[in-house]
C-alpha cells in the first residue's frame, strides 16, 4: 500500500483518532468523498476505500454498529500507529522571542531498555537539540508537551526529567548553536 496510501491512512487515523468518526453506512456510494479532510485533499474514492479496507483488515480501526449507523474507532494497534505518525511530524517550538532560559532533558534509562534509550536520544538529536552530555540535551524554549509525548511513545516516562536553568556554562556555545547571539 504505497500508492500515496500511507498519506491517506495517516489522514484516516488522524480523523478517527482526533475527532472520532460517525458514518451512516460504510459501503454507501460517495461516503468517503463526503468526509471533509479527504475531500479537501482530492483523493479518489477508490484510494480512500482501499485505505479504509486496509485499516479494517489490519485491525487498525474497528466498526461498531450504533442506532444511527456505524462508529469508526481506533484499535490499540491503530492508536500506536497514530502515535508513530505524530512522532514523525513532531517539531519543537521556536518562538520568535527567547525568554533567556534553557530547558534540559535528562535521562537515565536502564540498560534493559537500551533500544528505547537509543531511539529517544536519536529523536532528540533529529529535533535539533544540543547534546551537552551523553544523556543531557538542551533546548532554549519550552518543550514539556513534546517531551511528554516522546516519554509516552517510548515508554520511558519514569526515567526522563526536564529542568529549566537561567544560565549554563558553555552558554556561548549554546547561543551560537541556536543562533541566539
Where does the pLDDT of residue 24 fall: very low under 50, low under 70, confident under 90, or very high at 90 and above?
A: very low
Does CATH number 1.10.132.10 belong to domain 5-88? no
- Say what the pLDDT of residue 17 is: 67
Query: Average pLDDT, whole number, for the chain?
Result: 81
For the domain spanning 102-177, the CATH number is: 3.30.70.240
Q: Are 56 and 16 in contact (CB under 8 A)?
A: no
Give the whole-number percent of the chain exceeding pLDDT 90. Answer: 40
User: 11: how many CB neighbours lie within 10 A of its CB?
Assistant: 19
The strand pairing partners of 106, in sequence order, are 136, 161
- Say what the pLDDT of residue 65 is: 82
CA 99 to chain centre: 26
Question: 0.85 cut: is pTM over it?
Answer: no
Where do we find the cell 556555545?
173
**Spatial CA neighbour of 102 closest among 163, 50, 54, 160:** 163
Domain ranges for the chain, please list them.
5-88, 102-177
Angle made by CA atoms 92, 110, 128, in degrees to the nearest 5: 20
User: 44: how many CB neighbours lie within 10 A of its CB?
Assistant: 13
Amino acid at each position: 500500500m504505497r500508492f500515496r496510501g500511507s498519506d491517506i491512512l495517516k489522514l484516516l487515523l488522524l480523523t478517527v483518532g482526533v475527532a472520532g468518526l460517525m458514518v451512516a453506512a460504510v459501503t454507501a456510494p460517495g461516503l468517503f468523498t463526503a468526509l471533509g479532510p479527504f475531500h479537501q485533499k482530492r483523493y479518489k474514492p477508490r484510494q480512500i476505500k482501499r485505505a479504509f479496507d486496509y485499516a479494517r483488515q489490519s485491525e487498525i480501526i474497528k466498526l461498531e454498529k450504533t442506532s444511527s449507523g456505524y462508529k469508526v474507532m481506533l484499535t490499540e494497534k491503530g492508536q500506536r500507529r497514530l502515535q508513530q505518525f505524530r512522532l514523525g511530524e513532531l517539531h519543537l517550538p521556536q518562538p520568535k522571542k527567547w525568554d533567556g532560559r534553557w530547558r534540559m532533558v535528562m535521562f537515565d534509562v536502564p540498560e534493559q531498555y537500551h533500544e528505547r534509550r537509543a531511539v529517544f536520544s536519536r529523536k532528540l538529536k533529529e529535533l535539533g537539540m544540543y547534546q551537552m552530555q551523553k544523556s543531557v540535551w538542551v533546548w532554549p524554549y519550552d518543550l514539556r508537551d513534546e517531551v511528554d509525548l516522546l516519554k509516552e511513545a517510548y515508554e520511558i516516562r519514569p526515567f526522563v526529567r526536564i529542568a529549566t536553568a537561567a544560565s549554563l556554562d558553555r552558554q556561548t556555545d549554546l547561543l551560537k548553536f541556536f543562533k541566539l547571539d
